[in-house]
């Protein structure tokens, strides 16, 4: 949960760390809010957010997915919601779209006429979009809200951390020193904001040979060291895998049980 002590507006905004001046929609009851984060773009944060939401939903939980990666939104495709829209109910609420599994989704792409149009906004606009997603979306009752966080440690990430009472974050990384260095910045940001870090998921960790099953570590392996150095658990390793890539078409199932096991571990970890 965000803490006023680390906030640059401490003492000036007149609110508590519960909401940081951004009101929760009084119609919502959200039990746990899980941020999926990475300092770097393109590492699989959205894919892992979508898979986590799907895994939770399969277990019967009520699940929402907030796409806070405003300029690089992928939740609509990952949830099979192309052509669908979120809309206002005329009462100040945004009604999220719901996918075929019953996962509620909010993303700027659900409000755009054309998904190919870029969002060319300054930081303040991007941040206010995220706070509206939080304060205006009518989630109703949710067991879990998964937030696909923006990449990096900039304005919008800060807004999510300060405005939304995150239960904790899962950090996504790749087994490469350069990515590790950038992800460590995000880890440190979460610590500075006093947000619990559940642990690391190493994506694109290996490729499994379809003939003999041998695991080939294309990038090498640096995340285990990073987890050790940073004192955070390594929660799982995901392969570079065609089923995971195909999720971006909004369909498909994961056939490799080792992948499903990683998400089972994530569900157990977030509790």
Tell me the two tokens of residue 161.
């951390």
Applying CB under 6 A, among 39, 44, 64, 150 the residue interacting with ligand ADP is 44
Give the shortest CB-86-to-ligand ADP separation in angstroms.
20
Q: Does 38 help bind ligand ADP (rule: CB under 6 A)?
A: yes
Query: What CA–CA distance (Å, rounded) separates 261 from 228?
Result: 22
Sole binder of ligand ADP in the list 7, 39, 47, 77 (CB under 6 A): 47
Q: How far is the CB of 16 from ligand ADP (least distance, A)?
A: 31
Dihedral angle of Cα 158, 161, 164, 167, to the nearest 10 degrees? 170
Among 24, 28, 188, 248, binds ligand ADP (CB under 6 A): 248
Contact between 244 and ligand ADP per CB under 6 A: yes
The closest of 38, 67, 42, 44 to 186, measured between CA atoms, is 38
SS3 category, 88: strand
DSSP code at position 8: T
How many whole angstroms separate alpha carbon 218 and alpha carbon 242? 16
Contact call for residue 204 and ligand ADP (CB under 6 A): yes
Site string for ligand ADP, 167-196 (x = CB under 6 A): ------------------------------
- Residue 98 bridge partners (DSSP): 104
Cα angle vertex 222, ends 200, 191, to 5°? 40
Stretch that binds ligand ADP, among 24-32, 39-47, 120-128, 177-185 (CB under 6 A): 39-47
Q: Which residues bind ligand ADP (CB under 6 A)?
A: 38, 41-47, 72, 74, 203-204, 238, 240-241, 244-245, 248
């Amino acid at each position: 949960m965000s803490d006023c002590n680390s906030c640059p507006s401490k003492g000036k905004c007149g609110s508590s760390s519960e909401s940081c001046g951004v009101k929760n929609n009084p119609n919502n009851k959200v039990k746990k809010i899980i941020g999926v984060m990475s300092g770097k773009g393109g590492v699989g944060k959205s894919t892992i957010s979508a898979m986590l939401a799907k895994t939770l939903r399969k277990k019967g939980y009520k699940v929402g997915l907030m796409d806070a990666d405003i300029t690089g939104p992928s939740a609509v495709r990952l949830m099979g919601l192309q052509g669908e829209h979120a809309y206002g109910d005329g009462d100040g609420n945004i009604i999220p779209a719901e996918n075929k599994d019953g996962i509620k989704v909010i993303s700027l792409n659900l409000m755009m006429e054309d998904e190919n149009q870029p969002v060319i906004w300054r930081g303040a606009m991007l941040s206010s979009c995220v706070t509206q997603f939080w304060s205006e979306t009518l989630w109703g009752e949710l067991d879990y809200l998964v937030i696909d966080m923006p990449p990096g440690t900039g304005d919008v990430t800060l807004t999510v951390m300060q405005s939304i009472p995150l239960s904790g974050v899962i950090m996504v990384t790749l087994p490469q020193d350069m990515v590790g260095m950038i992800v460590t910045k995000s880890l440190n940001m979460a610590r500075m904001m006093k947000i619990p870090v559940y642990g690391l998921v190493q994506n694109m960790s290996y490729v499994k040979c379809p003939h003999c099953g041998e695991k080939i570590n294309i990038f090498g392996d640096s995340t285990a060291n990073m987890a050790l150095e940073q004192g955070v658990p390594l929660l799982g390793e995901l392969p570079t895998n065609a089923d995971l890539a195909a999720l971006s078409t909004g369909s498909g199932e994961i056939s490799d049980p080792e992948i499903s096991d990683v998400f089972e571990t994530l569900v157990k970890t977030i509790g």
